[in-house]
A and B are shown apart, each in its own frame.
Chain A
Amino acid sequence: MHKPRLHPVASFDINFLQYLDERGQATQALPDSATPDLLQSLYRQMNLARLVDQRAVQLQRTGRLGTYPSSLGQEAIGVGVGSAMQADDVYCPYYRETGALLERGVEIEEILAIWGGDERGQDYQHAPEDLPLCVPIATQLLHAAGVAFALQYKQRQMGESARVAVTCAGDGATSKGDFYEALNLAGVWKLPVVFVINNNQWAISVSRGAQSASRTIAQKAIAAGIQGLQVDGNDVIAVRTAVADAIELARGGEGPALIEAVTYRLCDHTTADDASRYCPPEQLEQARTREPLLRLGTYLREQGFWDDGAESEMQREQAEVMERALQAYHARPAESPTAMFDHLYGTLPEAFLEQYEELQYLRARDRQESG
């Protein structure tokens, strides 16, 4: 049989970054940024994210919160991403992002409000330009590309400082056209945007293997002509370093990057899901041994940067913080029903005044009757 001679025209490598292995042992010299102070702070933030998730799930179980997506087991990604960003960079999250939101200054009470059915939760007091949580899959990746264009444009045309958009999505999102379209455009326009894929192996019940035949998600960057890297998503040092490096390159005009953070979802997709229907228990058990808090905690203790005293002090402090947030959440006054009209348009068009007044009238009557 005739075999044609082929000439390779391009070939690529996909690299993997890890600093701490599953046993909490350093696999290479840690980056200079990984000071004991920083590592302790990352550990605390991951623990806080876990605590918020845990309490949110409890609130849901007792009927005081709506459906909630926990990020149990993937705290290293949220905290790694959030801590790598500068305050004035713009974060474009999906919905499983408790750790990153806390790093961005979003208040626990606001996070609870979002899932507790109160739009005011997304009126972030301390992250005024960050995008709200995005529930439709992968759409935020395109918004991030648009944000990145705006940041680049304002830098070039209006003399503003160099800023970067950072966006996160799950592995399921990489099957959507939005993902490819965002990467493609970011490559062509060399946008200052960093895409982080939280590969937690599950899109609700559909496994990573059923999502894509691609060996890695990071390699999907190759087709778009941008940088792709896979990191150990349970290693907060690796996530933070990879994202921080990508952000600085983007800030310097070097263009976008795709970072695949490999982790495992140790919880149900949301409180409305039951992962025991599809998640093999032995796989879950295995994954529990690789989780990020255990890993960094082991390392810190072995290095003498952490001990039982520090642990119980942290737990006590965070329990107080959580308690205050819960009280604030429960004490939140209800929003006026007419708020659904107040923010529909910049100014309420006349065409809606009648509906607005009807709502006002009916609510006033309800109050009179119940009072």
Chain B
Amino acid sequence: MAEITLVEAVNQALAHELAADPRVILFGQDIGANGGVFRATDGLQKRFGDERVRDTPLAENMIAGIAVGMAVQGLRPVAEFQFMGFIYPGLDHILSHAARYRNRTRGRLSCPVVYRAPYGGGIHAPEHHSENTEAIFAHIPGLRVVVPSSPARAYGLLLAAIRDPDPVVFLEPKRIYRAVRQEVPDGGEALPLDRCFRLRDGSDVTLVAWGAALKETLEAAEALSAEGIEAEVIDPATLKPLDIHTIIDSLEKTGRCVVIHEAARFAGLGAEITAQINEYAFDLLKAPVQRVTGYDTVMPYYRLEDCYLPDGERILAAVRKTLDYPAGGDR
């Protein structure tokens, strides 16, 4: 079986669901003949026709809004935004409507839509192309926020997102769209939503990260291992609703936790994870939870983006800080 990249896995999942379910409709800007600016929809219009894989006029608010109308009529719309930074005009529809239809109508109408957007920095893109604002969506009741971090999880989680009866914001870490190749059987098997994935076992410290940041996180875990420090690495994958129990279970073993994300720190998901750990597992902690995040600044143009994004050095420093806590004291 051929090995495929994360973006090819997205394409494979979309093709699978288009073939399996006539209610599935793809639409967005440039997704047709062009196959999407990242080629996530490459070849799909040719294969499934332009009624099912449609280019829209250029209006993100419109894309978000018509998806709601399609979904409440029983279709399974999958809307593509070219970059997460362009999704903001559609927030009104995603937050005020997609997230609330089921509740507003007491279950009479639901909104099974998937909003897909490439997200994150690190590809030397212009301003507004490198956003990491998953916390905006995670804060909203009624939404699911899913971030895959490997080709297999992109395939399995996207299938699950399309089949889910509720709205899902599916954020694709574009920095790792083509970073690794993996065999991903096209068997139509979904991965569970609302569950963390344990990517690495360890007993000394728990590292929680998602999306592209897992690349540096896993590398850091390997570096630590060489020093005899075993890090457990957890990918929440579904950021909302968050499976905190898997993280707490890990803390039972390690007692130490570092959360790594590319988004700005203030009110980012690291804050929520830290708060839940404090609520549920304060007694397990041997050290305060550390966060390694983007800074509370505007994401800089690309000459400075490497300074903004968490790197291995910052992750290792945070791990050492938890291991050395209290500084100079007992370990």
Contacts and interface: CB of A to CB of B under 8 A. Distances in A.
Nearest to B142: A344
Contact of B103 (A128, A143, A343): A343
Contacts of B89: 177
Interface size for chain A: under 10, 10 to 19, 20 to 34, or 35 or more residues?
Answer: 35 or more
Contacts of A184: 57, 59, 62
Interface string B210-240: 0000000000000000000000000000001
Contacts of A158: 22
Contacts of A151: 73
Given A147-B69, A345-B142, A122 B108 contact: yes
A142 interface: yes
Interface residues of B, number: 49
A139 B102 CA distance: 17
Interface string A112-146: 00000001101110001101100010010011111
Given A139-B65, A351-B243, A149 B70 contact: yes
Nearest to A131: B72
Dominant SS at the A interface?
A: helix
A340 B103 contact: yes
A340 B100 CA distance: 11
Contacts of B97: 136, 139, 143
Contacts of A122: 104-106, 108
Nearest to A133: B104
B182 interface: no
B65 to A, nearest CB: 3
B65 A178 contact: yes
Contact of A351 (B96, B107, B194): B194
B72 A352 contact: no
A132 B104 contact: yes
Nearest to A147: B69
B75 interface: yes
B104 A119 contact: yes
Interface of A: 90, 92, 119-120, 122-124, 128-129, 131-132, 136, 139, 142-151, 153-154, 156-158, 165, 177-178, 181-182, 184-185, 188, 339-340, 342-346, 349-352
11 contacts: A131-B72, A145-B66, A146-B73, A157-B52, A184-B62, A185-B59, A185-B62, A340-B103, A343-B106, A346-B164, A351-B244
